[in-house]
Amino acid sequence: MKSKMVTINEVLEETEQLDIDDREYLLNILSKRLVELRRAQISKRAKEAVGAYKKGTVKSGKFNDLWKDLND
């Protein structure tokens, strides 16, 4: 079974069929899901950073030293 890709425009058109209370509810749900998605991304990145630190692949130093290292 293939799933159909939905465009933003289609979603907006369907949303226009909702009454204002349902639109507000939808907006609230989407906002909360976006917050949770961002949290998950931050958590994943933090775990990657901790893993890199434990492996010893993280560099530390003064800004100018790190900047020089990046540009060499």
Q: Which of 48, 68, 67, 71 is nearest to 58 (CA)?
A: 48
46 or 58, greater pLDDT: 46
- pLDDT tens by residue, 9-22: 999 999 999 999 99
* 1 is a domain residue: no
The domain total for the chain is 1
Does residue 2 lie in a domain region? no
- Please give the pLDDT value at position 70: 85
Entry pTM: 0.67
Domain annotation covers residue 60: yes
- Domain enclosing residue 45, as ranges: 8-71
Minimum mean pLDDT among 1-5, 24-28, 55-59: which range? 1-5
pLDDT of residue 61: 86
Judge whether residue 72 has pLDDT over 90: no
DSSP string over the chain: -PPPPPPHHHHHHHHTTS-HHHHHHHHHHHHHHHHHHHHHHHHHHHHHHHHHHHHT------HHHHHHHHH-
CB–CB of 39/47 below 8 Å?
no
